[in-house]
């Protein structure tokens, strides 16, 4: 715990057997109270390794998608009493060693969400991000900062943390089960005036690290633009916001 806040790390996993141990070993276990892994019908030994590491493991019998995996993870974290939830991909692409910094930002009272940005500094290209993905990231982020009237260095990192107030407030079940889930969630968090901070994070691209292909990247990019346009039209009062906050 930090500041009497229960800290949970969620690991949305799919075929992460080769990298799960390394990811787990670098998590700062002295501050983390709970680790939850949801396996999205992996074809390797992800579940077996998770059990060996004594990680609380939830199994999807069929592959439901990246967004659906997160929904399961977040629900489990809240059900198990988490106050701060950090999503870390178990493919070892992002550094678990930055968890402490992200948690400290969230318990400070200054931020409701925090992202670990691959773009701040020179970590993305140095870590092996394909040039076309880097260019697409910069272009989409530029457009989003205009349409969302916000300023982030990127919107597409998979390493992010939230307070339970955000997760309990946003209607996560209405979001996509696919990769666009992250972007929909961020747009809605901004729409509802939650405060988002960011830190710089080195990244590693290698064979075992998960990455979507060019076709899926194109579909994701179009989904990002659609989400951002819907946000702006909603702010202008031209369309209704389909994803209102949950009422508690």
What is residue 20's predicted lDDT score, i.e. its pLDDT?
97
- pLDDT of residue 248 exceeding 50, the answer is no
Say how far apart CA 53 and CA 70 lie, in whole Å: 21
What is residue 242's predicted lDDT score, i.e. its pLDDT?
63
Nearest to 37 by CA among 26, 46, 28: 46
Total Cβ atoms within 10 A of residue 155: 25
What is residue 127's predicted lDDT score, i.e. its pLDDT?
73
- pLDDT of residue 74 exceeding 90, the answer is yes
Coil, helix or strand for 144? Answer: helix
Q: pLDDT digits over 199-224, tens only?
A: 999 887 766 655 667 788 888 899 99
Give the number of residues written for the chain.
Answer: 248
Query: What mean pLDDT is reported for the chain?
Result: 92
Residues linked to residue 200 through DSSP beta bridges, in sequence order: 117
Residues 6 or more apart whose CB falls under 8 angstroms from that of 59 comprise 38, 39, 41, 47
Which of the two residues, 5 and 246, has the higher pLDDT score? 5
Map 63-110 to HEC letters.
Answer: CCCHHHHHHHHHHHHHHCCCCEEEECCCCCCECHHHHHHHHHHHHCCC
Residue 219 DSSP code: H
Percent of the chain with pLDDT over 90: 77
Q: Worst-scoring range by mean pLDDT, 16-20, 115-119, 126-130, 155-159?
A: 126-130
Q: pLDDT digits over 9-56, tens only?
A: 999 999 999 999 999 999 999 999 999 999 999 999 999 999 999 999
Scanning the chain, the segments in alpha helix (DSSP H) are: 20-25, 46-52, 66-79, 99-107, 123-126, 131-147, 164-169, 181-191, 214-235
- pLDDT of residue 95 exceeding 60, the answer is yes
Average pLDDT over residues 108-116: 97
Which of the two residues, 188 and 132, has the higher pLDDT score? 188
């Amino acid at each position: 715990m930090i500041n009497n806040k229960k800290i949970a790390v969620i690991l949305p996993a799919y075929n992460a057997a080769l990298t799960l141990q390394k990811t787990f070993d670098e998590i700062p276990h002295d501050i983390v109270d709970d680790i939850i892994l949801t396996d999205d019908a992996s074809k390797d030994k992800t579940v077996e390794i998770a059990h060996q590491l004594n990680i609380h493991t939830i199994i999807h019998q069929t592959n439901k998608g990246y967004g659906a995996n997160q929904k399961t993870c977040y629900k489990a974290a809240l059900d198990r009493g988490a106050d701060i939830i950090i999503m870390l991909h178990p493919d070892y692409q992002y550094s678990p060693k930055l968890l402490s910094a992200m948690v400290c930002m969230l318990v400070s009272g200054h931020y409701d969400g925090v992202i670990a940005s691959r773009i701040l500094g020179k970590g993305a290209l140095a870590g092996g991000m394909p040039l076309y993905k880097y260019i697409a990231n910069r272009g989409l982020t530029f457009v989003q900062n205009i349409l969302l009237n916000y300023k982030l260095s990127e919107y597409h990192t998979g390493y992010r943390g939230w307070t339970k107030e955000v997760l309990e407030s946003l209607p996560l079940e209405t979001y996509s089960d696919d990769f666009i889930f992250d972007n929909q969630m961020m747009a809605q968090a901004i729409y509802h005036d939650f405060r988002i901070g960011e830190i710089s994070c080195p990244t590693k691209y290698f064979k075992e690290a998960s990455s979507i292909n060019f076709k899926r990247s194109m579909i994701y990019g179009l989904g990002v633009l659609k989400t951002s346009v819907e946000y702006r039209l909603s702010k202008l009062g031209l369309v209704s916001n389909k994803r209102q906050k949950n009422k508690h």
